[in-house]
Structure 1
Amino acid sequence: MDHRAELELPRKPHLNHAFTGGLASAQAAGESRETIGVHPAGGERPVHLSFVIPVKDEEATLVELYERIADEVPEASEFEVIFIDDGSRDQSWQVIRSLAVREPSRVRGLRFRHNVGKASALTAGFRAARGGVVFTMDADLQDDPKEIRRFLAKLEEGYDLVSGWKKVRHDPWHKVLPSRVFNLMLSRVSRVHLHDHNCGFKCYRAEVLRGMTLHGELHRMVPALAAVEGFRSAEIVVQHHPRRHGVSKYGFERYIRGLMDMVTVGFLRKYRERPSHFIGAVSAACAAAAGLLLAAAAVLALARLPLAAGVSVLCGAVMLGTAIVGAFCGLLAEMSIRGGLANHWRLPIVEDTGRDLPPTKGQQPRVSPVPVSYRFRSTDIPANPVPTP
């Protein structure tokens, strides 16, 4: 007997759709292992808020996380939760499919064929999101959905992106200390001064994410990438809860990879639209060095120093070749940008509940609306939390 078919989720009275069959119904609806791409799920009303949540071996937290989000979404706001299973080895995908059966208009699941990384998982979620406002959260319940209203209130002050700041972290020192150093360096390089670039709890206007493709460790640098496009960022203090289930999926090596991507961000901040200017400057310097070396070779030859002259000619030839190759690289970079080659990044999505599960009778696909305005009474918005260690 397939143990996955016995998976059932608890009922919750306030939810709009009854759970009718768990994983067995999800499987009966038809599983496709060849589904590639994203497709809008069915629904009758437009989506205001999208929650994009990467998942890696978090089966114990997903149901509770969804229900806590549903409890905290502002009244009269339609929402969707997009779970991206990044190669989980536990029953995370079975839980996601069961939630998608139970809440077909609010839950969508994407499953990667293998583990690709958080950046690619977020990219898939951004492409699938239909809301005018998009949240990103971790799936481990360390981010508190009660902060949702405070994020929206800050967004209403005119910002395009609001990032969380885990001022008090319930993590070991060997994670906290490197994170603080990394945040300080990234703030200096990007000139986006946030205390916690690493925080996964963020809120965006949909236009910030339109066309954004992340890879490597660039998911930590979305505020910096958004600043390159002219978007405004803000930061609020958020509660950070201790992990109750599972273990952290990240080690110290992520900061090594992050340093390389930080160089990318620094380059994009200055030369995103004109990479040939940077490469051209390097090529010009190499060409100038080649000219000096060849001139020195001529002087050395006249001075009857053939060995030194030969070395200078060789070094000058190398520098001249470097200048020529650099010039061609600059042209290729310009052609790459003009041709939009970066938009052809393919994600290894193997299953998509938005396509696998047929829409309810009478439902039509929805499109993203103009972001709604969120106005709250002062009593509706929790005060800034003062976390206690």
Structure 2
Amino acid sequence: MQLSIIIPAFNEAESLVELYSQINRVAAENELAIEIIYIDDGSTDGSWKEIQQLVTFDDRVRGIRFRRNFGKAAALTAGISAAKGNILCMLDADLQDDPEELPRFLARLNDGFDVVNGWKVRRLDPWHKVYPSRVFNSLVSRLTGLILHDHNCGMKMFRAEVGREIRIYGELHRFIPVLAHARGFRVTEIGIHHRSRKHGHSKYGFRRFTRGFLDLMTVAFLTGYGQRPQHMLGAIGLCAFGLGFAGLGYLAVTWLLMHALHIWEPTPIGNRPLLAYSVALTILGAQAISLGLLAELLVYYTGRTSDSYSIAEEVFREKGT
């Protein structure tokens, strides 16, 4: 098995057979050894019946059905776990991704890359999706250091070891290239042909923007401080604690000058906003440092040793040979 094509589907019954036909034609024309894994993410429109028929017709097709809608990240995780190929490809089921691009993705992988991300150069989506997406992609590139035009493109291809090392949950599937890049894998992108939707409607609403921003914060923390959370939380805590301690110190000196040395007329320190701010900063700093220590304990006792490194290859010689 060379290529495993993972297709999450949620109420896409009208497009599943057509997508299979397109993939099958491309595989035959390019002599690709493939398997197709459909993941029915709790569909209610008959998608599972279509998948069952495809499995009966072609033994290269496999189907996985969720009990309810768990989301795209869960569907992709299930597909990655079930895949047998040494190369994995993510493909949306709505026919907007063109299977004709598969040979180009494979050729780019053969150039020495581990992850190839699609880039919808001419995106055929409504403006209220296109322009916010551009802003989001620019923000992701700046915060993570991985410069891509389209981080959230549904068409991605990567080696099986990438799927084994990264962990996606919630809605982190859009950050697969970022997570792989943080592990040291080589990531690139290619421009692809994007098609307009023929059947159904988009499953993502306005909430995806707020969720995407919150997920970006999560990914930035995981890739930057996942193995050393105290470096971030502790730095914030020390900064806040230092400012608070400096404010309290200033108030203490002021009180001493007013009451002990009688340099100027006393003014109630308790009425000054600086006192409240200094106390709040001191408490915040202590809490942030404590939270960082707790996070370090969690990483130490529950983290996987392999999370702290990624092996590219290994060579050794057996004794006596």
TM tier relative to shorter chain: 0.7 to 0.9
Alpha-carbon distance in structure 2 between the residues aligned to 1:342 and 1:67: 42
Deviations 1:145-186, CA, capped at 9 Å, x for gaps: 111111100110001111111111222222212112211221
Aligned-pair distance for 1:213? 2.2
Aligned-pair distance for 1:312? 5.4
Distance 1:220 1:313, change over 3 A: same
**Paired residue secondary structure (1:61):** helix
Is 1:101 the equivalent of 2:53? no
Aligned-pair distance for 1:341? 5.8
Task: Determine if contact 1:159/1:232 at 8 Å carries over to the other structure.
Answer: yes
Q: For structure 1, which segment, 314-323 or 212-221, has the greater mean C-alpha deviation from structure 2 after superposition?
A: 314-323
Which residue is equivalent to 2:6?
52
Which residue is equivalent to 1:146?
100
Task: Determine if contact 1:297/1:310 at 8 Å carries over to the other structure.
Answer: no
Alpha-carbon distance in structure 1 between the residues aligned to 2:131 and 2:280: 44
Which residue is equivalent to 1:92?
47
Which residue is equivalent to 2:280?
318
Which residue is equivalent to 1:82?
37
Alpha-carbon distance in structure 1 between the residues aligned to 2:272 and 2:141: 48
**Paired residue secondary structure (2:166):** coil
Which residue is equivalent to 1:213?
167
Is 1:198 the equivalent of 2:160? no
1:328 to 286, 290, 293: 290
Which residue is equivalent to 1:170?
124
Alpha-carbon distance in structure 2 between the residues aligned to 1:342 and 1:245: 43
2:221 to 245, 250, 267: 267
Task: Determine if contact 1:82/1:107 at 8 Å carries over to the other structure.
Answer: yes
Which residue is equivalent to 2:300?
338
Aligned-pair distance for 1:313? 5.5
Q: Structure 2 matches for 1:59-138, cutoff 5 A?
A: 59-73=13-27, 77-104=32-59, 106-138=60-92
Distance 1:264 1:236, change over 3 A: same
Alpha-carbon distance in structure 1 between the residues aligned to 2:298 and 2:48: 37
Task: Determine if contact 1:65/1:141 at 8 Å carries over to the other structure.
Answer: yes
Aligned-pair distance for 1:229? 0.8
Distance 1:108 1:342, change over 3 A: farther
**Paired residue secondary structure (1:279):** helix
Distance 1:119 1:312, change over 3 A: same
Aligned-pair distance for 1:310? 8.0
Alpha-carbon distance in structure 2 between the residues aligned to 1:311 and 1:301: 15
**Paired residue secondary structure (1:60):** helix
Letter in 2 for 1:331: L
Which residue is equivalent to 2:262?
none
User: C-alpha root-mean-square deviation of aligned residues, in Å?
Assistant: 2.4
Aligned-pair distance for 1:254? 1.0
Task: Determine if contact 1:290/1:316 at 8 Å carries over to the other structure.
Answer: yes
Alpha-carbon distance in structure 2 between the residues aligned to 1:301 and 1:205: 67
Deviations 1:308-340, CA, capped at 9 Å, x for gaps: 378655544433332232222112222333344
Which residue is equivalent to 2:231?
277
Which residue is equivalent to 2:142?
188
Structure possessing the higher relative contact order (Cα contacts under 8 Å, 6 or more residues apart): 1
Alpha-carbon distance in structure 1 between the residues aligned to 2:139 and 2:46: 38
Task: Determine if contact 1:86/1:117 at 8 Å carries over to the other structure.
Answer: yes
Compute the TM-score of the two structures, normalised by the length of structure 2: 0.84
Aligned-pair distance for 1:77? 4.2
Task: Determine if contact 2:97/2:193 at 8 Å carries over to the other structure.
Answer: yes
Letter in 1 for 2:51: I
Which residue is equivalent to 2:309?
none
Aligned-pair distance for 1:230? 1.1
Unaligned runs of 5+ in 1: 1-46, 344-369, 371-389
Aligned-pair distance for 1:305? 3.4
Unaligned runs of 5+ in 2: 259-265, 306-312, 314-321
The size of the alignment, in residue pairs, is 297
Deviations 1:44-83, CA, capped at 9 Å, x for gaps: xxx2111111101000111221232122226664322111
Letter in 1 for 2:292: G
Letter in 1 for 2:291: C
Aligned-pair distance for 1:342? 8.9
Alpha-carbon distance in structure 1 between the residues aligned to 2:40 and 2:300: 33
Task: Determine if contact 2:166/2:180 at 8 Å carries over to the other structure.
Answer: no
Alpha-carbon distance in structure 2 between the residues aligned to 1:314 and 1:187: 39
Task: Determine if contact 2:269/2:275 at 8 Å carries over to the other structure.
Answer: no
Deviations 1:180-239, CA, capped at 9 Å, x for gaps: 221122122222121111211111011112132223432222111111111111111211
Deviations 1:122-156, CA, capped at 9 Å, x for gaps: 12222222210000010011111111111100110
Aligned-pair distance for 1:306? 3.7
**Paired residue secondary structure (2:165):** coil
Letter in 2 for 1:171: D
Distance 1:300 1:123, change over 3 A: same
Letter in 2 for 1:319: L
Distance 1:193 1:314, change over 3 A: closer
Q: For structure 1, which segment, 174-183 or 74-83, has the greater mean C-alpha deviation from structure 2 after superposition?
A: 74-83
Alpha-carbon distance in structure 2 between the residues aligned to 1:113 and 1:185: 35
